Chain A
């Protein structure tokens, strides 16, 4: 009989297989559940609206209309000073969102109130700052649990960096991106390119967005102009 503890989903083979944002959603959701948290949000740290605004959220399981409430509750839990200085944090911090005494948790109006929030800072090698926030109605985590969560978050983030962030920053178009830029330069819409290549419009739009970012373009026309100027399409 094998008494070895089972490897959690988020730390097992699925971690090495992850290649797109939904794969990372699956990993982060599994990690949150493993540590008895209900919600998670991976976000870019923002100086303008510390610790981050709605548009800075990269992947989350918080419903769209609940996101602002989630952020407000996070700020309450961390306290104003720590929330504002999130961009300088290097180690995880946690806190409990305020809940007036004598009142039970009001799940209708704010399901995050009275919940525990854990804020884990994450960094890319270039110094871009992200964070993973976990929240849920559970006890505040102890140091050993925080260490485990930090390690798991760093592993998932490293994989995300390798699979998604690095290719985005490489500046070199992939074969698929070049192909799609070429079709765009011939006046094809995303829907038409999707039919030609047997892909979804979503995939085509993702490639166009990635190509535009790599070429430092502001829109499709600009992207095509840069690609033509640089001889990336003929």
Chain B
């Protein structure tokens, strides 16, 4: 799969976090990212994110683990999957050490990452791994790892 937006050379990312300052911090951290071009949008709540995802196509969603009033990825990600979003979702949090994080694949989450770990290199890896990857037509001698 090569996501629609990346064919136009741009990756559309939705960042969901109830703290707007986190969005500004992320924008600052990836300001040097020139390849691929990333268009970053922001949602302050899962409700707003659901509306945005219904209205436009996003290549990637970065989702804060805890969103108001008291939801974590086990509640929010199934909601996003429930409206038919099949793109990658990464859970971002200051603390990803909770035992329940080990179950993230069961809830439709593709990866988890600490907020302080996100930088240009990490985002490039995430895009390469989950957005612009190509599924081979033939698998013989073509190992993913």
Contact = CB atoms under 8 A, between A and B. Distances in A.
Interface of A: 13, 17, 19-23, 25-26, 29-30, 44, 58-59, 61, 63-65, 164-165, 168, 190-191, 194-195, 198-203, 205-206, 208-210, 212-213, 217-219
Nearest to B36: A64
Contact of B133 (A59, A202, A218): A202
Counting chain A CB atoms within 10 Å of each CB, the highest count among B86, B126, B144 belongs to B86
A201 B140 contact: no
B108 A199 contact: yes
A164 to B, nearest CB: 6
A53 B122 CA distance: 22
Nearest to B87: A200
A213 B139 contact: yes
Contact of A198 (B101, B102, B108, B139): B108
Contacts of A198: 78, 81-82, 108
B61 to A, nearest CB: 10
21 contacts: A20-B105, A22-B90, A22-B113, A22-B126, A22-B129, A164-B145, A190-B135, A191-B86, A195-B86, A198-B81, A198-B108, A200-B130, A201-B1, A202-B88, A202-B130, A203-B110, A205-B1, A209-B139, A209-B144, A213-B143, A213-B144
Interface of B: 1, 35, 78, 81-82, 84, 86-90, 97, 101-102, 105, 108, 110-114, 117, 121-122, 124-126, 128-130, 133, 135-140, 143-145
A69 B69 CA distance: 49
Given A206-B144, A218-B138, A17 B101 contact: yes
Counting chain B CB atoms within 10 Å of each CB, the highest count among A65, A198, A200, A217 belongs to A200
Contact of B139 (A26, A29, A63, A217): A217
A205 B86 contact: no
A23 B125 CA distance: 11
A19 B102 contact: yes
Give me the 7 closest cross-chain CB pairs, A-B, nearest first.
Answer: A22-B111, A194-B86, A198-B81, A61-B121, A201-B86, A218-B140, A212-B139
Nearest to B120: A63
A218 B108 contact: no
A199 B88 contact: no
B117 A26 contact: yes
B125 A61 contact: yes
A226 B110 CA distance: 28
